[in-house]
Amino acid sequence: MRRTVSILGVTGSVGSSTLDLIERAPERFEVVALTAASNVAALADAALRTNATLAVIADEAKLGELRERLTGSGCTAATGDEALLEAAAGGAEWVMAAIVGCAGLRPVMAALEAGRTVALANKEALVSAGALMTDVAARSNAVLLPVDSEHNAIFQCLAGSRSEDVSRLLLTASGGPFRTSSEAEMRAATPAQAVAHPNWSMGAKISVDSATLMNKGLELIEAHHLFGLPSSRIDIVIHPQSVIHSLVEFVDGSMLAQLGAPDMRVPIAYALAWPERMATPAERLDLAAIARLDFAAPDPVRFPALRLAREALEAGGTAPAVLNAANEAAVAAFLGGAIGFADIAELVAKALENAESAPPRSIDEVMAIDGSARARVGALISEGCCT
């Protein structure tokens, strides 16, 4: 039988890659719902090509245009929060959660509450509300599949293993565009330099996170929730070639690694076809041509975001949600030219001073924490705290 799928955030990098794989194997997949933030042309085109039954545009002003583009197709055009939740929890058994940031939190929760198989590309949701999400998944028998290349690699390496046999997890990081840059060079970095990732093609926000290594800090928290290991048993190593996507060390000293080209279609395909596999057009590795694989410890001085993320995980309470929201706000300010590159981590550190020990008990509380942290960052920028 064909697997029914919905893609939340179909016009982004992950969503487009998911759609590419689905269209290469139409006999295996049936598209139910697609969503996008504002790219109405791309959303309508994707809906028409895949015969989707529902297309949701977040920008309400573009609903009329979406309806016009879908006239006569049989695909319903919709907008608003309720429509987005319907797309997440509706008829599809498999849901790609690729909406960036906390905007994707409620749809992810809706899909989990409905007992769907959720392929999670939105790490921010798990960072901000990890315990709430995993609790809901356990109650509804939903399946949570990691799509981030690092967590997907760990998921593959753990296949058939008992949790008690695992010693530690190692997340690999390319080091981003500033891996060898000095502190002075990083302070003077422009948004264009920060988004120029050496290995991966990603959106602006996640590219900046890779440049600060906050992306790896968020993945540390995500790994804790996905695999149930404490911070002390999750390490990060710089691996500039991005060939090994992550590793698992077992109690007997054995270590397993997952290797592949830096192409997001590989981890997406693993989640899309799970528990089977499917073909992808990803480039095959030529180990002889690669010749060498390098590793190094991350520099805690030039990349303070890693320390902040680990401290937030260990502190618990509202700290992870504050970390995520403050980082999103700071990255947006950097991309908008309001602050410098080094100010991102400094703003996050200041926002974390307001974190509380009691964890959020609901999504409403998570969203309130998120809003307060963003407001705090905005206030700090207005007060001129950044140089």
User: Is 224 part of any domain?
Assistant: yes
Same domain, 135 and 7: yes
User: Is 276 part of any domain?
Assistant: no
Residue at a domain's end among 97, 127, 147: 147
Same domain, 333 and 215: no
75 φ, ψ (degrees, to nearest 5): -95, 130
Same domain, 290 and 156: yes
pLDDT at 201: 66
Mark residue 381 as left, alpha or beta (left: phi above 0; alpha: psi -120 to 50; beta: remaining). alpha
User: Is 138 part of any domain?
Assistant: yes
| Domain harbouring 36, CATH code | 3.40.50.720
| Domain harbouring 322, CATH code | 1.10.1740.10
What averages of pLDDT result for each successive group of 10 residues across the chain (387 residues)? 95 95 97 97 98 97 98 97 95 93 89 97 90 96 95 95 94 94 95 85 84 96 96 96 96 97 95 96 95 96 97 97 96 96 97 96 95 97 82
Same domain, 111 and 199: no
Same domain, 125 and 242: no
User: What gap in Å lies between CA 175 and CA 198, rounded to an integer?
Assistant: 9
pLDDT at 385: 79
Are 381 and 338 in contact by the 8 Å Cβ rule? The answer is yes
DSSP category for residue 260: -
Same domain, 117 and 160: no
Same domain, 45 and 117: yes
Question: Exposure string (b/e) for 75-85, b if CB count within 10 Å is 16 or more?
Answer: bbbbbeeebbb
The structural domain count of the chain equals 3
Residue at a domain's end among 147, 179, 211: 147
State CA 148 to chain mean position distance: 6
The token duo for 349 is 């550190």
Same domain, 209 and 143: no
User: Is 308 part of any domain?
Assistant: no
Same domain, 106 and 196: no
Same domain, 234 and 174: yes
Residue at a domain's end among 300, 326, 357: 300
Q: Which domain holds residue 352?
A: 316-387
pLDDT at 56: 98
User: What gap in Å lies between CA 205 and CA 124, rounded to an integer?
Assistant: 12
Who's near 123: CB < 8 A, 6+ residues apart? 148, 218, 219, 222
pLDDT at 198: 78
User: Is 386 part of any domain?
Assistant: yes
User: Is 277 part of any domain?
Assistant: no
User: Is 182 part of any domain?
Assistant: yes
Q: For every residue of 26-73, which 3-state class applies, written as one string?
A: CCCEEEEEEEECCCHHHHHHHHHHHCCCEEEECCHHHHHHHHHHCCCC
pLDDT at 387: 59
Same domain, 87 and 14: yes
Same domain, 179 and 138: no
User: Is 109 part of any domain?
Assistant: yes
